[in-house]
Chain A
Amino acid sequence: MASKTCDLEDIRGQFSRASSRAGHRVIVCAGTGCVANGSLKVYVKLAEEIEKKGLPVILSLRFEDEHEKDAVFVSKSGCQGFCQMGPLVTILPENIFYTRVKAEDAAEIVEKTLVEGKIVERLLYVDPSSGKPCAGTGEIPFYQKQQRFVLKECGQIDPEDIAEYIFHHGYEAASKACFMRPEDICEEIVASGLRGRGGGGFPTGKKWAITLRQKGLKKYVICNGDEGDPGAFMDRSVMEGNSHSVIEGMIIAARAIGADEGYVYVRAEYPLAVRRMRKAVEDARKAGILGKDIFASGFNFDVQVMEGAGAFVCGEETALIASIEGKRGMPSPKPPFPAQSGLHGKPTVINNVETMATVPLIMRMGAEEYKKMGTAGSPGTKTFALTGHVANTGLIEVPFGTSLRKIVYEIAGGVTADDGNISEKPFKAVQIGGPSGGCLIQEHLDIPMDFDSLRKAGAMVGSGGLVVMNSNTCMVSIARFFMQFTQNESCGKCVLCREGTKQMLALLDDIIEGRATEETLQILEDLARAVQVGSLCGLGKTAPNPVLSTLRYFREEYLAHVKYKYCPAGRCKALAKYRIDPASCKGCTLCSRKCPVGAIKGERGKVHVIDEKLCIKCGACVQACKFNAVSGGAR
């Protein structure tokens, strides 16, 4: 039986005809963030209300029979990045962008916007700096200052509809690649200068060319979707919002190296991404885009989606391969590199999700055009997950070389205080690249963000998590937080990583809890260097980075902890010193009655005093005082 050949042109035409019948299109964001905020209820309610108004509703486009004219096409999309303002609803063709939409708002949206053509003002995003409501994403600084390239279709198209991906020129690059010589594909990617987005920044084209040169008939392509860095969710958003772009990238990679089998390894904590990737693979198979004789080119390739089982170290390529083979996910020494001996001992290309999703775009536009974005050493764009103390958190994409200042102050809308309002206080640091990365400070605000400049500054692009911290953050506690994370996730294979991280954590605890001396800092630094050189894989090699980089830029903060037993940010509970201000104390006795250990002495009507030796630093007195006379303690 001849296999089915997919006619992209035909699907594109059908989709175009069917969708052009719709007068309005309503897009409800169905990324993890918006779903958590109740966007699915909004979706259902909108469809109900539209029907109630007697307007024809389209929930999925039909190609066979024609839709009524001027129907309303209601669809779900992947993550639009502005998660904090969700659920998000976009109305086309007017391009009206509603934020924080609730199911109860559905009737008003239908009545006012869809029937009367008016805008529901109260659902618009208000720019906090100007106080002006913004009608569309084009007016919102968060979107305006970005360059959404890989994420362009994320948040627009319905990720569960393969026809819509094809309508937007999806699988065109793959169909072309199936007839290209593998060497030519590798050359094009080498020429584009694309570097791996998983952290290391290795040139993708070079990796492919090495794998292509390996002898043997069996080769594999793996897409690494084990995005485990706390504070990063770019890959989740791409897998959820534009699943087919990942598959298309894998087809091109497979053709380039001569593989016939591929795996997408997705973190178990991302159930929606797993579901959408599985559906995308199934739909692509049904359409004849995966399987045997793709596009009648004689090229065979199929993909399986594998769900991880919860181990951060599996983001490391050799550990991930072990995990796919059904073993404990422990890394192995390189060389041999996966390109030489990977899955089941066969040559394997392993690329991160964002890298895979970039490949079809490069093939479509050509390497020359692609290189116009970004910097010479790091062409293209990069997605970042922006979180922490900033006004706008979410998923962003900017060309490489963009300054940190632009990201923090223009896109993210500035640094916020602990109460969430924009703060006058200066920004303190940005932690970039998660537990393997480092921090950037004031003086780095204007350096171009790209692979090489960041490495020079002692940080790394890593997976792309950006956590902005305000001046109330204790950098020693942050270093401890990441140390605890890597300590937990150390697989235990290398002694220095297994035991060294444990001891480093204990030293950090000593500093935070006031048992450390200046010598502790020296031991910590020595041990950090030992862990770096004595570990096999990236996890261990980079585990000391947060400690080393905070020691480099915030040494005086460490010194304050060890020398004066004082936490400048006031975060470390054990170092807190409670004090009653004699001028404000009215002698009401409330604090001394609330104190669980009787550490507060004083007569009624007289100033009270805290006995530091007895104080257990529970903070009950601060809460009890009605005159704000007690100060100190962890905030």
Chain B
Amino acid sequence: MEGLRKLEKVCQILEENGRDPGRLITILQAVQEEYRYLPEEILTFVATSLNLTSAHVYGVATFYSHFTLKPKGKYIIRICDGTACHVKKSTALLDALRQKLGLKPGMVTTSEMLFTLETVSCLGACGLAPVIMVNDEVYGQMTPEKADKVIDDIIKKEGIGNGK
């Protein structure tokens, strides 16, 4: 039942893009927007519907860094590690956030699926370095303390206990 509903949404996305294989990236972006990741069975479904090989779709999905085959958290925190942010100590922010979120080495997503932590090469807000981005919102001139507060505010908004 759940599976059927999933595919219904994918079909809608495929229709909106005219089942055009040339729009594969746009389609995958929409699918990921919906599920927050690209489930394997949906990739196969998309491939069949667009008359492409699964290998082709898998190749595209793994080429671009924005696509993920693993579920991501509701809030994606991107730490900018561009030149300007790097010289202004973005690595310290990364360490602080990993600790705050309790991420063990190798982990990028918190166990309750609320946060995913990533680094990106440049967010283009270098005047405000160091910068982080939470989903589509940019926070500039960050310090580990300020980053802490950003996380706390989200946790409060989501109504999950006080702090961690």
Question: Which chain A residues have a beta carbon within 8 Å of chain B's beta carbons?
Answer: 32-33, 35-37, 82-84, 86, 227-233, 236, 267-271, 306-312, 323-330, 344, 385, 387-389, 393-395, 431, 434, 465, 467, 469, 473, 481-482, 485, 488-489, 491
CB of B66 within 8 A of CB of A326, answer no
Check A326/B60 contact, CB under 8 A, given A35-B138, A434-B83: yes
Residues B121 and A83 in contact, CB atoms below 8 Å apart:
no
Could you write out 7 A-B pairs with CB less than 8 Å apart? Answer: A32-B123, A33-B140, A230-B122, A269-B124, A327-B24, A329-B64, A394-B127
Complex Cα distance A530/B113, Å? 45
* Complex alpha-carbon distance, A232 and B28, angstroms: 28
A231, closest chain B residue (CB):
B83
A228: chain B residues within 8 A (beta carbon)? 121-122
Asked if A312 contacts B121 (CB within 8 A), the reply is yes
A36 to B138 Cα, complex, angstroms: 5
Contacts of B125 in A (CB 8 A): 32-33, 36, 83, 233
B123 touches A269 (CB 8 A): yes
Contact status of A328 and B63, CB under 8 A, knowing A36-B138, A431-B83, A473-B87? yes
Of B95-103, B104-112, B128-136, B154-162, the one touching chain A: B128-136
Check if B120 sits within 8 Å of A269, measured CB to CB: yes
CB-based contact B84/A467 at 8 Å: yes
Measured in the bound complex, the distance between the Cα atoms of B137 and A420 in whole Å is 26
CB-CB under 8 A from B67, the residues of chain A are 309-310
Given A37-B140, A269-B124, A310-B64, A231 and B25 touching (CB < 8 A)? Answer: no
B139: A residues at CB distance < 8 A? 36
Chain A residues near B63: list those with CB within 8 A. Answer: 311, 328-330, 491
| Interface majority SS (helix, strand, loop, mixed), chain B | mixed
Q: A37-B128, A489-B121 are in contact. Are A231 and B66 (CB under 8 A)?
A: no
With A36-B140, A309-B64, A311-B65 known as contacts, the answer to whether A326 contacts B21 (CB < 8 A) is yes
For residue B23, which residue of chain A has the nearest CB? A326
| B123: chain A residues within 8 A (beta carbon) | 32, 269
Contact between chains at B66 and A268 (CB < 8 Å): yes
Interface centre among A86, A233, A393, A395 (most CB of B within 10 A): A233
Residue from B26, B126, B138 in contact with A231 in the complex, judged by beta carbons closer than 8 Å: B126
Q: Are A388 and B83 in contact (CB-based, < 8 A)?
A: yes
Asked if B3 is at the interface of the complex by the 8 Å CB criterion, the answer is no
- Assess the B82–A307 pair: CB atoms within 8 A: no
B-side interface size class: 35 or more
Indicate whether A232 sits within 8 Å of B65 (C-beta atoms), given known contacts A36-B138, A83-B127: no
For B26, B28, B126, the residue with the greatest tally of chain A CB atoms inside 10 Å of its CB is B126
Q: Quick check: B87 and A388 within 8 Å, CB to CB?
A: yes
Cβ of A323 and Cβ of B25 under 8 Å apart? yes
For B122, the chain A residues whose CB sits under 8 A away are: 228-233, 269
Cross-chain contact B124 with A306 (CB below 8 angstroms): no
A375 to B59, CA, bound (A): 46
CB nearest neighbor in A for B56? A327
A311 touching B121 by the CB < 8 A rule? no
Q: Which residues of B contact A394 (CB under 8 A)?
A: 127
A232 B22 Cβ-Cβ under 8 A: no
- The chain B residue with its CB closest to the CB of A314 is B64
Which partner residue on chain A sits nearest B138 by CB separation? A36
Among B121, B129, B139, chain A packs the most CB atoms within 10 A around the CB of: B121
Query: By CB atoms of chain A within 10 A, which of B29, B59, B124, B136 has the most?
Result: B124
Tell me the complex Cα distance, A9–B75, Å. 47
- CB A626 to nearest CB in B, in angstroms, measures 23
Interface mask (B132-153 → A, CB under 8 Å = 1, otherwise 0): 0100111111000000000000
In whole angstroms, how far apart are the Cα atoms of A307 and B64 in the complex?
A: 12
Residues of A within 8 A of B25 (CB): 306, 309, 323, 326
In the assembled complex, the Cα of A328 lies from the Cα of B125 at a distance in Å of 27
Nearest CB of A to B53, in Å = 12
Kindly state the separation between the CA atoms of A486 and B41 in the bound complex, as whole angstroms. Answer: 33
Decide: B84 and A388 in contact? CB cutoff 8 A: yes
Residues of B within 8 A of A231 (CB): 82-84, 122, 126
Cβ-defined contact, A32 with B124, below 8 A: yes
Q: How far is the CA of A396 from the CA of B59 in the complex (A)?
A: 40
* B137 nearest CB neighbor, chain A only: A36
Whether, in the assembled complex, B74 has its beta carbon less than 8 Å from a beta carbon of chain A, the answer is no
Known: A229-B122, A232-B126. 5 other contacts (CB 8 A): A232-B124, A269-B78, A310-B65, A393-B126, A489-B121
For residue B60, which residues in chain A have a CB less than 8 angstroms away from its CB? 326-328
Among B24, B82, B83, B137, the most chain A Cβ lie within 10 Å of the Cβ of B83
Complex Cα distance, B23 from A489, in Å, reads: 23
Q: Does B86 contact A (CB under 8 A)?
A: yes
**7 A-B pairs with the lowest CB-CB distances in the bound complex, closest first:** A83-B127, A230-B82, A326-B24, A309-B64, A233-B124, A310-B65, A310-B66
CA A467 – CA B126 in complex, angstroms? 10
Whether B26 pairs with A306 at a CB distance below 8 angstroms is yes
Q: A84 contacts B127, CB within 8 Å?
A: yes
User: Which residues of B sit under 8 angstroms from A327, Cβ to Cβ?
Assistant: 24, 60
**Contact present for A387 and B129 (CB under 8 Å):** yes
A495 shortest CB reach to chain B, Å: 18
Closest chain B residue to A229, Cβ basis: B122
- Cα–Cα distance between A359 and B2 once the two chains are bound (Å): 53
A308 to B128, alpha carbons, bound, how many Å?
24
A393 to B83 alpha-carbon distance, docked (Å):
13
Given A36-B131, A326-B24, A328-B60, check contact A307 B29 (CB 8 Å): yes
Residue of A nearest to B26 (CB): A306
CB pair A311–B136 under 8 Å, yes or no, is: no
Question: A227 contacts which of B20, B21, B124, B141 (Cβ < 8 Å)?
Answer: B124
Smallest Cβ-Cβ distance to A83: which chain B residue: B127
CA distance A473 to B125 in the complex (A): 22
Q: Please, how many angstroms separate the alpha-carbon atoms of A387 and B87 in the complex?
A: 10
Instruction: State A308–B124 Cα separation when bound (angstroms).
Output: 15
A32 nearest CB across to chain B (Å): 5
Name the residue of chain B whose CB is nearest to the CB of A491.
Answer: B63
Given A323-B25, A328-B59: A233 in contact with B138 (beta carbons within 8 A): no
How far, in whole Å, are A55 and B108 apart by their CA atoms in the complex?
A: 51
Q: Collect the chain A residues with CB atoms within 8 Å of residue B26's CB.
A: 306-307, 326
Q: Chain B: which residue is nearest A237 at the CB level?
A: B124
Q: A271-B136, A323-B25 are in contact. Are A33 and B128 (CB under 8 A)?
A: yes
CA distance A394 to B128 in the complex (A): 9
Q: CB < 8 Å: which of B66, B127, B138 contacts A393?
A: B127
A578 and B123 alpha carbons, distance in the complex (Å):
37
